[in-house]
Structure 1
């Protein structure tokens, strides 16, 4: 396994990253970021649940940090996990724990891209209240099997002092052609619900995850931009910046439930901890405009 790098800067920095999730969206973006920044990196070839393969990857790459962007989310969506439970457990629980354990044995920090879709609005965190779930809060969303497995593994990973758990939510990037992009998804739906949620702008937050590795940060982090944004607000921005002819229709959660197998998580995560560590972090709506819509602008600026 050879380490890839765009220039010799990584040799001076001493950073060497081992990344799992080469064929995934976040894993692919992370590799391109490393190449652009001259950080030496390699993609892991082993399956997460195969300990000996992970050990071989680490021996070959000799990394300073390991990133896990692998796992099962389901195709075309998380409903797949409802009927493939053993496969989901193998990847999301057994695999992640095995990687964390192998890294701990070797004194390596594991940056684990997890999910914040393990909470839902409740009496203590009402929709629209601005009261978000904290890193210390216990997951309360059990509507989908995917979320159940992610909540399970997050709880177990608390026992590994070498793991940095990043709770990603409804990830968005400036690539509006990618089918995994939350914006791309909702612009293709026949109807959408309109609920404010915490979300992750990858163009801004993936570079921060690299910085977190440099700082050797561990523990649980709500890995979202501060604040919330609703589906309709995003679609209004899409119409204003990208396609003035775009239109959409809404439906209720009850109506949505008739066309999906498993319920979806809706919540606000409190990003105070991340904002304190990275004061430059933009609020979600500002980040959407700066990092996603302005670079893709196709309509003239209105007076």
Structure 2
């Protein structure tokens, strides 16, 4: 769909100008670096998501062609935080995101919203290892954590906004293995890990694609992961092969994991057919891990 700007021209006909929410966040910071490298004009928003007046001021001042939302609450150190901070989670993840979408719609601006795919869990129709992934139009079936509940709620409501591009990110990974938000960094530091195949998002490959999606004015829901699934053990085996030959780890079961976490975690595979049709060059999860994460970090690599 083409969203028309107030001056009558479509965003594609004007010089790109991005407004990014999430300056201090991981994805928000990476987006700024990519825009800088591509020579795309951008600025970070200063307003709070839940404050409509501040958002309106941000958009009015920046006059963006597109807004990127990489803000919100995931919880520190993990999503268990959301279980005891429910109002704060709602305020940012539901109220804030909807307010931003609404302000953008009023001004004919596309909102690219980095959402989550952690709203599904394997079931009888989507068994582990089957390769049958959840599609964009499937109804979320995971309500184990309050974080996931809020994300499923806001995704359902955002379907009514024709100016929103919802990107379902899962277990994000980047080439920066020092970043504590990086899924690989997390599991290498855990005492024990479960071993379940999951869809995951390699940010080094997919964030530039999200910028290209904005350039194409794409909207709607997109499973924003690399094709296929990869297990915790497979990633740690790659880590041992490319990064640390002495690395070792221990596994435990979901039942054992449940004893040390507050809220259950989502495990699923997402169907990426829609994204692959739009971007045929997209690498499978294992290929992307090697090319974008492990080879650049391999000892002796440039």
- The reply to whether TM is greater than 0.5 is yes
Q: 1:177 matched to which residue of 2? A: 178
Residue-by-residue CA offset, 1:258-301 (whole Å, 9 max, x unaligned): 0000000000000000000000000000000000000000179x
Partners in 2 of 1:103 and 1:60 — Cα distance?
Answer: 13
* Contact 1:141–1:265, Cα closer than 8 Å, also in 2: yes
Q: Quick one: structure 1 residues 13 and 234, their matched pair in 2 at CA, closer, same or farther if it must change by over 3 Å?
A: farther
Q: 1:282 matched to which residue of 2? A: 283
Q: 2:164 matched to which residue of 1? A: 163
Secondary structure at the aligned position of 1:294 is classed as: helix
Partners in 2 of 1:88 and 1:59 — Cα distance?
Answer: 27
Q: 2:61 matched to which residue of 1? A: 60
Q: Which runs of 5+ in 2 are unaligned?
A: 1-12
Q: Which runs of 5+ in 1 are unaligned?
A: 1-11
* Contact 1:243–1:299, Cα closer than 8 Å, also in 2: no
How large is the RMSD of aligned CA atoms in angstroms?
1.0
Residue-by-residue CA offset, 1:86-142 (whole Å, 9 max, x unaligned): 000000000000000000000000000000000000000001111000000000000
Partners in 2 of 1:206 and 1:145 — Cα distance?
Answer: 26
Partners in 2 of 1:174 and 1:125 — Cα distance?
Answer: 30
Q: 2:104 matched to which residue of 1? A: 103
Partners in 2 of 1:237 and 1:175 — Cα distance?
Answer: 15
Partners in 2 of 1:58 and 1:98 — Cα distance?
Answer: 12
Q: What is the correspondence of 1:1-12 to structure 2 with a 5 Å cutoff? A: none
Q: 1:130 matched to which residue of 2? A: 131
Report the TM-score, using the length of structure 2 for normalisation: 0.95
Partners in 1 of 2:37 and 2:64 — Cα distance?
Answer: 18
Q: What is the correspondence of 1:1-303 to structure 2 with a 5 Å cutoff? A: 14-298=15-299
Partners in 1 of 2:23 and 2:37 — Cα distance?
Answer: 16
Matched length: 289
